[in-house]
Structure formats: structure tokens, C-alpha cells
Structure 1
Amino acid sequence: MSPDGPRLDRTKLLAARFRAAQDRPYLATALYSLTVVESRDVSTMGVDRRWRCHVSPEFVDRLPVPQLAAVWIHEVAHLLRDHHGRADRLPADQQRDHHRVNVAQDCEINDDLVADRLPLPADRIEPATFGLPVGLLFEAYLPLLPAHVRGREAPDCGSGAHGVDRAWESGSTGGVSAVEAGAIRRETAHAIRAHVRSRGTIAAGWQRWAAQVLEPRVDWRRALSGAVREAAAWASGAVDYTYRRPSRRSGATRGVVLPSLRRPVPRVAIVVDTSGSMGDGQLAAALAEVAGVLRAVGVGGNRVTVLSCDAAVHVVRRVHTVGEVRLAGGGGTDMRVGIDAALRGRPHVVVVLTDGLTPWPAAPLESVRVIAGLIGAGAPQPPSWIASVTVDD
């Protein structure tokens, strides 16, 4: 016994981690990536962003090994689920109350651990504590928590959970980098999938988390916006000479009129696949998003042409708004026909909205950027020279 209290029983603590890794082998890599830091300033156990686990000696003495093993899993779950990164993306007013954020995060984790029959300490926080449903993310639990949660003794799992640096985290060395943390998450997700295939038993929350890590859903609106913006910026960066507005330097050259440089506003063609396999809802959403992007980059008026096409081009119309678009068709699919028709207007950017079940041009188009908005998660990919974005619900 030291003057300040008992020394950390590392043998007991590491035995608990070994038990956690033995019972949940898919979490072993993550558990053994944590660095133990003895701390008398933390009341239980807490983790920081660098995957250092700060441990109270009194807490280790107080809990039996099975409960310590469950707490190990709880703490590593904060890091695997990137709770600190997600907390950083919360609105500022929600970030400020980090204790409340921590409670919501514990609800997200502990419903899985309780379902997995882990012997968590009796004072654990879970959705049932507040009469809330199970299976939600902490961002969903946060606004559902009652007001009195601010007044109760809330947990403090460290900056590795709620994202706010704590005084007891300073001075620690070593740890895991952000790149290494990403690799640990992916390896753990693969281990979870392998465990499910071989044994088929694991909490649903862990399975959903693994699917999100290995098959992240991309915000197609943001991706499509970025692709169109990049192509429009590329077209706007093109310059050419024109005599419509003589160069200012012409005054210095008697009898010689010099051309000036012009920067063209990009012309955009939107080829819409109206074959029978297309869904109206997703198609309308994609059209609306493209319209918003074109307005944002200053492309409008008679610079936008929309072509309705299946195996033939049915409607070609220059539009000011998407509300003026007229779609027709419903037969087979060949977007090459629509792209060829679009090229007659000499566009800088061609956006093709299709389910991907179409042949494509055999070679890149000269001086034209092509973007494919692929409707549906299973849409076949176009050739590599075409920028593609999957448009999904």
C-alpha cells in the first residue's frame, strides 16, 4: 500500500483483458492495442484518443475479473466505434455537454454488451435506464435523454469517448496513431464477419458496425456535387482567344488588333435514362441535386441541355430549371445514343443518370468530361475514364 492508496494490480487487470480477448476473440487485436496508464485522477477506467487506457487502482481492486473484462470491452468499444471522431462532428451546443454525450455513447455500447450477457457493473448506464429503445446510435440517443441526466453523476470515459481532453490524460506517451486506429478497426470488422460466418452468434450492433466499416455508405449527393463542381471548374478554367473584345494591349500596337482571352461558362448536358428499369423517385432526386449543383457553380439559363433517352433520344430541351424537364421513353437502354446527341451541342460536361445497364462509348471523349450518376447500389460500373457516383437511397 502506497501513501496515496493501493498500487495498480496489473496482474489482475491484464488477466481481465486476457479473459475479454479469449471470450470475444474478434476484439483481441483492439484490446491488445490499448496501452495501460495507472492514474489516481480517474475514478474507474477511461481512454484517450491515442488508445491509452487510464486505470484507477482502487477500481481494479474493487471489481472481480469478469466485470473488469466487461469494462475492458466497454472502453475499447468507444475507440472502435470512433466515438470521439463522431462527437467532434456534433453541433457545438451538443459538444459542450460532454457528460451527456458520454451517457448517450454508453447507451449505444451497453445495449449490445447486455444482450451479449457481459457482467457489467451494477451502476451501468443502458437505454433501459431511461426507458429508451435499444439499437440506436448515440447521436439518436442524445436528444432523447431526459433533462435530469445533467444532474446525475455521469461517467467520464475520456477523450477517446466524448472527445474532450481531460487533465488526467496529459503527460502520457506512446499510443496509437489515427492511421493505425483505422487499420485496427478494419481488422476487427473482418474478424467480426469471420466470427459470424463460423459461429453465427454476435450482438447485432457489432454486426452493423462491421458492415459500416467494411462497406461504408457514401453520401451520393455530396459525391455527385463534388464531381459536377470539379468538372465545371475544369471547363471554366479553359481559355480561348476572341476578337469580340479586343485586348487592352491593342492600343500599343498601331494598326494591329489583338484578341483577348475569354473564360467560357461551361455548357452542361444531362442525359437522363428513361428506360423501363429506372425508378422515378431516385431519378427525380438525382435531377434535383444536379440542378442545385449547377446553380451553385453559376451554370444556368441556356447553358444546360437535358436529353431524355432510352435506346433513342426522345426529348432534347434547354432548360432554366429542372421543372422544365420533360422525360419520355420506356424502352431499351443505350446511353451512347444520348451522349452522341449531347455532343452536338458541344458541351464541356456531360452528366448521365442511368441504372448502368447500358453500353458506353469505347474511348474517352475529347475535351468533354463525362460523369455517370449510377441509380441503385448494384449498378454496373462504366469505363474507368468516366467519373461515377452511386446514387442510392
Structure 2
Amino acid sequence: MGDRDVAGLDRVKLLAARYRAAVDRPYLASALYALSIVPSVTVPTMAVDRRWRCYVSPGFVDSTPVEELAGVWIHEVAHLLRDHHGRADRLPAAEQADRLRVNVAQDCEINDDLVADGVPLPEGRLVPGLFGLPPGRLFEAYLPRIPSSPQVHDCGSGAHGRHVSWEPRDTDGGIGPVEVGALRRTTAQAMRAHLRGRGDLPEGWRRWADQVLEPVVNWRRMLAGAVREAVAWAAGAVDYTYRRPSRRTPALRGVVLPSLRRPLPRVAVVVDTSGSMGEGELAAALAEITGVLREVGVRGNRVTVLACDADVRAVSRVTDVTQVTLTGGGGTDMRAGIAAALAVPDRPSVVIVLTDGLTPWPAETPSCRVICVLIGDAASSGRPDPPAWAETVRVPAV
């Protein structure tokens, strides 16, 4: 059998590749050695699950040089360190269903950094440029521009979050959330020490380490909470109606009693499409909003999106973020968008405004709930805050 185990895996070569990855990028050593190896003839190349088990194809190890195997080790552990499966769980259900498309967007986020860092990777690596996308973004920003069901290798549930055939159904084995949190923090601290020692890191890894060691407010959770609260408030505004008489009416001769009506909320999303707005941030925020609205039952023709710079450019009823047309590029005046949203026959009960904050606001309080989503660096650069009547959520630049 030589260097091969009972599954036919050349374990010596695989471990030599992991050792090389740890020597070349010592700040990843703890994370790399936390991965447990599971030989599999089903997995195409290498893949990981949520419990930090690494599934390895013996044939892939045989055909891949050690230096490229080292790059794949780094690629797979990056999925886990960056919590790709946890972030994928927060995507709208429709986006989660196409796991390979999510995987491609995640690979673009990782490989963008690895290529810049000189990490050797096998032929066919996926980078943002292949899809005409800019570098340096998170996978949530890339996802809307990735084609459906691409033919690519599957990195497992540790990446896209969906169970695949080579993974066990049980949750035993591997490592748990507490250990994972410690591993991420240890790795981020090692990256900081590497930088202090005059080492270099790709921008994506720097950003990740900063977020782990200096966590910012979870804007996705804040935005989801704000939208759910506003929709619940609107749905709770019960009123009386005679269209369907009360069931107590037959007991009262000659008297018709109204029944209570619980209205279904309508939501308007006003999107700032002026020249200062970043496409990635807009896509991420829109995806979050549409996902939350679906979760709380607001869908179909009850969501209107208005593209607005200094004037309203496009109005559309949408069921999915891919149906949104964002046109504009001029000045910024969200007053026009809010006014247009409130002028339609079916007035919304909630208006969500996506903007960088460089806009005038209505002088009077609108007649509905308003959520202002301040996007990008301009949202934290000393710009005046939105009016007190607007609930504000800040989304950092991607």
C-alpha cells in the first residue's frame, strides 16, 4: 500500500501540502490543522462541511502538484474562517437554493485574495474578472451577477451551507461553534502579528481580521429587525369593514355589524441611483430587504421599487431582486422618491430608503413608517443624519 491509506488516498502527499500551506502562511496554521481529513471517492476535489471536516478525493490528490494542493487547503479553510455557510444561511431562500451559484460567488471572494497573495491554485480557478466583476468585494455583492447553476466544483456545506451527498447527516464529529469562534479569533490575532512584523496581507484578509477583532454592529440583523417590526406594525393596524359582515350579525335582527380587517402591508423601496452610490452595497441591501419581506409574507405585487436620483426614473412591482431596474446617475433628492411612493393609489404602509445620505429630506413627517438605510463610507463621514422620524440602519461599504 506504501504511502496510501485503505481508501487509496496518498495521505503523505496531502499532509505535505498542508504543511507547506502552514509554513508559507503561518497565520493560517491553527485553522489548517484543525481540519480533519475524510477520504471520499464522491467528492470531486476537496470540500469542507460546517464541522470543519475536509473531504478529499484520492484521484484529485494524485493528479495535483503539492504546491497547488497547498493552495486548495488555503482555499477550503478560507470558506470556514469567513463563515461562508453562516452568511449563506442569511441569504433569501431563492438564492440559497442554487448552491453552486452561491459557491461561485464565494470562490470569487476568496480567490481574488489568494491570487493577489501569490497562492498557486489549480487551473480553472474562479476570480471576479471572469464575470466582469470588480475585485475586493464580498460574495453577497458578486452573487446577483453570477449566472445560474454554473458547472463548477462543489466546496461543500462549509461553503454554501447546503447538505451534499458525501457528507453525513449526523452532527457528531468535527468541531463545534465555540471552538470555531476561538479559531477565528486566534487566526485574526496571528494576522495582526504578521502585519506588525512587516508582513503583508491581501485586503480581504485584513478586512476579515478587523471584523473579527473589532466587530461592528450586525447591520443585516438590524435591518431585518427594523423591516419585520415595521411590517408587523402595519399589519396590526386593524380596521372595520362591511364587505364581510360580522358572524354575530344574524343574532341582531335588522342590524349589520362590521367585521375586523387586518390589512396586508404594502412596502415601497426607494433606491438612490445617483452617481455616488456603489452597486455592490445596493445589491447586498436589496437582497436583504427582499429576503426579509418574503419571510414575513410580503410578496407578489405588494412590493414596489422606485429608482430615484434627483427624480424618479423607474417604478416596478417586483417579486425578486433580479427584477429591479436601477437607472439614474444624476444628482440626489430622495424627497422625490418618497413623494412618488406615497402618491400611488395603493399607498405603502412602510417606505424603505436606500441611500448614501447625501440628500435633502422631506420637511414634514411622512404618513407612514420610514426606514432609512445609509449605505457606504459617506454614511459615516460626518454627513448629517436623517430626520428623527426615520429609523436609521447603517450599512458599511463592501
Tell me the TM-score range normalised by the shorter chain.
0.5 to 0.7
Tell me by how many angstroms 1:171 deviates. Answer: 6.5
Maintained 8 Å contact 1:78/1:161 = yes
**Which protein is bigger by CA-based radius of gyration?**
1
1:206-228 alpha-carbon deviations (Å, 9 max, x no partner)? 001101111111157949x99xx
> How far apart in 2 are the matches of 1:79 and 1:98?
16
1:365-387 alpha-carbon deviations (Å, 9 max, x no partner)? xxxxxxxxxx9899xxxxxxxxx
Tell me by how many angstroms 1:200 deviates. Answer: 3.4
Q: How many residues align?
A: 239
Which one-letter code corresponds to 2:55 in the other structure? H
* Identity, % of aligned positions: 62
Distance 1:176 1:133, change over 3 A: same
Maintained 8 Å contact 1:66/1:119 = yes
**RMSD across aligned C-alpha pairs, in angstroms?**
3.4
Maintained 8 Å contact 1:6/1:58 = no
Q: Find the partner of 2:161 among 153, 160, 163.
A: 163
> How far apart in 2 are the matches of 1:91 and 1:182?
25
Which one-letter code corresponds to 2:158 in the other structure? G
1:1-58 alpha-carbon deviations (Å, 9 max, x no partner)? 79xx970011110111011000000000100100000111101000000000000000
Structure 1: unaligned runs, 5 residues or longer: 230-295, 297-320, 325-374, 379-389
Corresponding residue SS for 1:167: coil
Aligned to 1:36: 37
Maintained 8 Å contact 1:83/1:163 = yes
Summarize the alignment of residues 1-393 of structure 1 with structure 2, pairs less than 5 Å apart. Answer: 7-145=8-146, 147=147, 150=149, 152-170=150-168, 173-219=172-218, 222=222, 323=364
- Taking structure 1 as the reference length, the TM-score comes to 0.55
Maintained 8 Å contact 1:376/1:392 = no
Corresponding residue SS for 1:160: helix
Corresponding residue SS for 1:58: helix
> How far apart in 2 are the matches of 1:54 and 1:74?
13
Corresponding residue SS for 2:37: strand
> How far apart in 2 are the matches of 1:392 and 1:49?
27
Runs of 4 or more consecutive aligned structure 1 residues displaced over 4 Å after TM superposition: 321-324, 375-378, 390-393
Maintained 8 Å contact 2:89/2:96 = yes
Structure 2: unaligned runs, 5 residues or longer: 230-348, 350-361, 366-378, 383-392
Maintained 8 Å contact 1:38/1:57 = yes
Corresponding residue SS for 1:202: coil
Distance 1:391 1:125, change over 3 A: closer
Corresponding residue SS for 2:212: helix
Maintained 8 Å contact 1:377/1:392 = no
Distance 1:392 1:40, change over 3 A: closer
Distance 1:29 1:100, change over 3 A: same
Aligned to 1:330: none
